[in-house]
Amino acid sequence: MGGGPVCGARGPANERGAERCGGGGAAAKMESVALVAPVTALEFAGDALLAGTGPEVVAFRLSGGGQAVAAAGRRSVLREASVQGLRAEPGPGPGGGAAVRVAAFGGRWLAVLAVRRGGPRLAACGGGAARDLGARVWEARWAAGGRLALALGGGTVALYEWRGGGRWLRRASCGGAGALRCAALAGRAWARLALAAGTAAGTVVVWRAAEAAAPRRRLRGHRGAVLALCYAAPRGLLASASEDRSVRLWAVGELGDGDGDGGCCLLVCYGHGARVAAVVLRGPRPVSAGEDGACLEWDGGGVRRARRGHRGALRALALRPAGGCLATGGDDGGVRLWRPGRAAPQAAALGAPGRPRAAVLAGPRRVLALDEAGGLAAYEAVAGRWGPVLPPPAAGGARGALAAAPLPGGDEALCALAGGDGRLLLFALSRPGAAAGLGLFEGAVRGLGWAPRPGLPPGAAALLASGPDGEMLWLDVAHRPGQAPRARLTGRYLLPPCKQRWHTCAAFLPQGGLLVCGDRRGSLLLFPCSSSPGWAAESAGGANPGGEDSGSGSEPSCLSRKGALPLETPLSVLFGLHGKTGVTSVTCHGDYIYSTGRDGCYRQLRLRGQQLEVLRKHRPCKGLQWIEELRFTLDGDLLVLGFHADNFVVWSSRTGENLHCVPCGGGHRSWSYCSSPSAEAFAFIKCGDVMLYRCEAEPREQQVLLASLHGREIACVRRLGAVEVPGRAALNVFVTGSEDTTACILALSEGSRAAVPLARLSDHISSVRALALAGPAGPGDEGFGDEGLSALLFSAGGRAQIECYRLLCSRDLASESAVACQVIHMASHRLDEHWERKKNRHKLVKMDPETRYMSLSVVPGTNTEQLPMPWKFLAAACSDGSVRVFGLLEAARKLVLVAESFHHQRCVLKVEAFLHTWAGGERRHLLCSAATDGSVAFWDITGPITDVADALGREEAEMQPLALGAPLLTIMAHSCGVNSLHVHETPEGQYLVASGSDDGSIHLCLLEVALGGGEAVAGTCLRVLERVARPCAHAAHVTGIRVLRPDLLLSASVDQRLTLWRRGPGGLDALNTTFFHVPDLADLDCWEVAEAGRELQYYCVLCGQGLEMLHGTAPPEPPPPEAHQ
C-alpha cells in the first residue's frame, strides 16, 4: 500500500509478551498490531534495504538500478529496545548466497537475522530470540568464522559466538576511554581487531583489542560529544560527526597503529544547523545527516550537494557500495532512497538581440523574446542561435503583452501579441508572416493569456484578453497550416470595479458552461460561458505585422461587432481572496478548483450550484512567499511552482524537496516555465539579457519508501473510525497533532502495520496539543456518500488558536491508500484577535499571547430541538487558568467564545464534557476540569449554554462571554498535576471519573447526579458514592487513562507500560501489564469492538515519539453478587 511495507515473515509483535500481574490475568492479553516509530538504523544487505524502526526491522526490495520496487518484510527482532544498528555480513553469505545474515542491536540486546534473497524475507537465526548481553552494544562487526566482534559499554571489545546458546570467546577492556557515545570497529581477526570510539568529551580514542590496557591514540578537535564514526580501511580515513554541528575527516592509516595524539585532520566541515547524527564515507568525501533534517555531501570543506525532504531530525544514514545510493531515515518515521544525481544545471545567458522586455517559452527548446522596440525574436536551443520572427511595428503603440500556446504533436505554437493600441496579432510560430490582426479595444490590452478549454480540437486554443474599464474578451483561435489563424469572438465579460481591473489567469471548468477567472486585485470570479457561435475573423492574405498598413481599415476589428454579444457579469465573486497582490493561476483537478496567489497560499474550492465555495487554505511550504501555479502529476504528486526569496523553485509535496531551484532575482520580472516529458525549462530576463535554465528529464533523485508523519513528537491522537475496503483488512483512520505545528489524517492498517498520510493540516502557527471530534457520522450523513466517515474536527494548541474542519473519508480504490479524505475548513479562533475586537479594551488586561489550549472536549447532545439554532459547543482547558466554552455555527462558519471561568487560578490541564439525562428526558450538560494542583472540578453548564444560544440567536455582533459560575463539586484527587482524565457512564446512570497524575498515581471516583434544592446550582447536585486511589500505579506520569467497563480500567504512562486494572471492592488490581514502544507517551485513545464469547475486545492507540496500535482482550465481567446467593 503505497510506500508502506507489506508483511512478509511476520514475527511476534511483542516478543516480551504481557506481564501477568494478578488473579484472572490469564484471559487478559495485549499485543501490538501496528507501529510507527523513528527510523534509527539503515543497512543495505544484498538486494534489500533494511530499516530499523522501534524494535522492528523493515526490508525493502531493490531493483538492479538501485530503486526500491516494493517493501517485502517486517519483523520484530528486539524486545524492549529500539534497533540502533544493523550490520550485514560481507560476502555472498552462507548457502551460496541464498541469504545474507544481518546483526541487529540496540541497548543491551542483540539478534541475528537472515535476509532471504529475491523476496526479501526476514528470518531469525541462532535460536530466533534476541539476547540480553548485559551491557550497551555500541557497534557490531562480522569477524572471521561468522562470529561477531562487539564494542560494548565501558570500553569493552568482545568476540561473540552467537550460534547455539551464545557464548563469549574473547573480551578485553580499555581503561581511561571515558564515556562512550559511538564506536567503529576494524579488522576481522582478534589480533588485528581495532576500535575507534567517540566520547562525550569530544575526543576520538583508538586502541587494539589485543593491547587494550589504554588508548593508543587520541584525536582531538571536536567541541562537543562525538555522535558517529565511519572508517574506510582502503583509504585509511576516519570521519567523525559531533554535536558541535561539525564533521571532521582524519587520516589515520590502519586503525590501531600509532601512538599518542597522531592522526592528521584533513577537513573540518561546518554547514549543519543542528547536531550531526550520522556520517558515512563516499570515497574520500564524507556524507553526513543531521538533526536539522539535511543530508549533506562534502567536498573540500564545503557542501557539494544538499539533500532535504524529511520533516524532522535525521537519525540514520546508509550508503550502498554498488551504485552509490544513499538511504536516510529519521524522527518522522520516513525512509528515503537517494540515487546518484547529476549536478544541477546553471542558467546560461542567451545573448538576446536588442534589449528584451518580455521572455516566453514556446516549448522546452524555444524561447521568444520581445524587445523594447516591439520586435520579436526566437531562440532555438538545438541550433543555439537567435532568429527574427517579427520586426518592430512601423507605427502605433509599442507591443507589451506576449503569450504562446504550444500545440500538441510537434514544435508548433500559437502566439498572441498585443500592445497599448488595443490591437492583437495572432500567428503560428512557423509562419509569422501569415498573421491575423484584430482590433480589440480602444485602449491598451492589460491582460493576455491562453486558457485550457475542454472539448477543443488539437489545433485550437482559447484566448482571453482584458482591456480598459474591466472588459474581457474570449476568443477561440484555430490553427490552419499555411494560413493565418482563425479567431472567433465567443464571449464578453465585465470584471468588478477595482483599481487594477484586468484578469491574470482563467480556466474553463470541465463541467462546461462556466469560466473561472482570477484578477489582479486577488479576486476569484465565476462567469457563465457557452460555445454558441460568435463573430469570426480571419485575415485573407495575412496582415502585414510590421508594415504601415497593419492598422488600416481593411483589418478586421472586434470593436464594431462585439456589441452583438451580451456583456456577462460574474455569477459568483470571492473578492480579494488572495489579497491585493493578485491571483496567479486557476487549475481544475478532479472535482475541485485550485487557485494560487502571491500570498504564499493556495486554496481548494468546489462548485455548489453556481457559487464558488472555499474548502480550505493551504500553505504548502514555509518561506514560499509567491505561489505561481500547481501541477498534478500522473503518479499522484502535487508540484508547487513559485518563488522562495529570489529563487524560482519547483517543490514536490510528496517528497518535501525542491526539484528545481533557479536563482533568478525574484518573480517581479518577465519569466516563463515549461515542462514536457523530455525536458523542463525556465527562461527569465536578468541584467538586460535572456537567461535559460534547461534540465533534461530523468528519474527523480529521491524515492519515498516509508512516508513521513510528523517531524516532532506527536502530542495528541484521536480515532475517526474505520473504512471497509474489499479484499483488505479494515483501515483505521486517525487524526494526530504534533509539536511541528501540523495535524495529520492518516490510515493505519493491521495488515501492512504501516501508516499512510491522507491529508495534512498546516493552519496552526504553533504546536497542536489537543484534538476533539464531533461525530463521526457514518454512511447516510447529509452531503456525504453511502460509505465512509464524516466528522467535525477541532484542533488547538499554542498561541491560543483553535481550528475547525469538516472531514469526509471514503474508500477510493484508485488511490495508493485505498482511502480518500476531503478536508473542509469551517472556522478558526484566536484569543488575541478576539481581544482586538473587544470594546474598551484599553481598560482590560490583554490576554497572554503564550496561552495554550491543553485539552478539548465536545459538549455532547447540544444539537437538538432544545436550542433555537444548531450550535455545537466545545470546552477548552487553558494554560492561563481558565475553562472556556466556544460555540460553532457550522452553517455560518463561525466559532465564538461564549463562556469562561478562572476558578482554578492555575493551568488547567484536562477537560471532559458529559451528558446526563433524567428519567423524564430532561438533559443536563456537565463538565469536568482538572488542573496542575491535582484538583478536579465539576460544572453544570446547561444554563450558560441555553443563555448563550438565545443570545447568539438575537445578536448579529459578537457577544461578550458569559460566566460559568461556581463549580458544583471540587475533589482533590492528586497531589500534583492531572495529566489524564476520562468519564464513563455506568448502566445505573452513575459516572466513573478516572484520572492519572504526574506522581504516577491513579484516582477513581463514582458520582451520582441528583436534584438539588438551591437555585445557584440550577437544580443539580453531585454526590460522591465511592473513591479509590492507587498511589505509585506507574513509575512516571500517567498520561493516558480510559474506563473500558465499570470494572475495567486501562492506564498508560511515560514508563512505557500499559496496564489493565480491575476495579473491585478492595480497590484496583492489576490484571495485565504490557510494554509498548512509544517513548514520551503523550496521549491515548481507545475503542471497543464486538464482544466474542463474553470477552471484551478493544483497541488502543498510543502517541508520543511515534504511534502504536495495540489489540487487547479483557476477561468477562464478573457476575453480580446476587448470583452467588
Residue entry with cell 524532522: 312
Residue with more model confidence, 552 or 879? 879
Q: Kindly tell me if the per-residue pLDDT of 1030 is higher than 90.
A: yes
Three-class secondary structure of residue 145 per DSSP = helix
717, 795 contact by CB (below 8 A): no
The predicted model gives 593-597 an average pLDDT of 95
What is the spatial distance between Cα 918 and Cα 897, in angstroms, rounded to a whole number? Answer: 28
The predicted model gives 455-461 an average pLDDT of 85
Q: Kindly tell me if the per-residue pLDDT of 210 is higher than 60.
A: yes
| Predicted pLDDT of residue 173 | 85
Q: Kindly tell me if the per-residue pLDDT of 1015 is higher than 50.
A: no
Distance of CA 683 to the CA centre of its chain: 31
The predicted model gives 439-462 an average pLDDT of 88
| Predicted pLDDT of residue 6 | 30
Consecutive H or E run containing 946: helix 942-954
Q: Given pLDDT bands bounded at 50, 70 and 90, which one contains residue 65?
A: low
Residue entry with cell 580499555: 174
Residue entry with cell 510560430: 429
Backbone angles phi, psi at 121, to 5 degrees: -120, 150
Whether the model pTM is above 0.85 = yes
251: CB partners within 8 A, 6+ apart = 236, 237, 263, 264, 266
| Predicted pLDDT of residue 258 | 63
What is the spatial distance between Cα 809 and Cα 1017, in angstroms, rounded to a whole number? Answer: 42
Q: Given pLDDT bands bounded at 50, 70 and 90, which one contains residue 517?
A: very high
Cis amide bond preceding 1065, omega within 30: no
Q: What is the DSSP string of 474-492?
A: EEEEE--TTSPPEEEEEEE
Using CA atoms, how far residue 646 sits from 40, 367, 626, 900, 966, in Å, is 36, 22, 10, 47, 57
What is the spatial distance between Cα 318 and Cα 841, in angstroms, rounded to a whole number? Answer: 58
Question: pLDDT tens digit string along 135-146?
Answer: 999 999 999 999
Q: Which three cell numbers stand for residue 780?
A: 447516510
Residue entry with cell 576494524: 186
Smallest CA-to-CA distance from 813 within 719, 723, 720 is with 723
State the sign of the Cα–Cα–Cα–Cα dihedral 658, 661, 666, 667: negative
Q: Kindly tell me if the per-residue pLDDT of 1001 is higher than 90.
A: yes
Backbone angles phi, psi at 665, to 5 degrees: 95, 0
Question: pLDDT tens digit string along 369-427?
Answer: 999 888 899 999 888 999 999 988 865 556 778 899 888 876 789 999 998 888 899 99
Consecutive H or E run containing 96: helix 94-97
| Predicted pLDDT of residue 17 | 45
Q: Kindly tell me if the per-residue pLDDT of 245 is higher than 80.
A: yes
Q: Kindly tell me if the per-residue pLDDT of 753 is higher than 50.
A: yes
- Percent of the chain at pLDDT above 90? 54
- Rounded to 5 degrees, what angle do the CA atoms 341, 343, 349 make? 145
What is the spatial distance between Cα 1074 and Cα 197, in angstroms, rounded to a whole number? Answer: 35
Residue with more model confidence, 743 or 18? 743
Distance of CA 348 to the CA centre of its chain: 36
Question: pLDDT tens digit string along 533-586?
Answer: 545 544 434 455 544 333 333 455 666 677 778 899 999 999 999 988 899 999
Q: Given pLDDT bands bounded at 50, 70 and 90, which one contains residue 631?
A: very high
291, 275 contact by CB (below 8 A): yes
Q: What is the DSSP string of 874-919?
A: EEEEETTS-EEEEEEETTTTEEEEEEEE--S-S-EEEEEEEEEE-T
Distance of CA 122 to the CA centre of its chain: 30
Taking the CB of residue 971, how many other CB atoms lie within 10 A of it?
A: 20
| Predicted pLDDT of residue 1109 | 94
The predicted model gives 924-937 an average pLDDT of 95
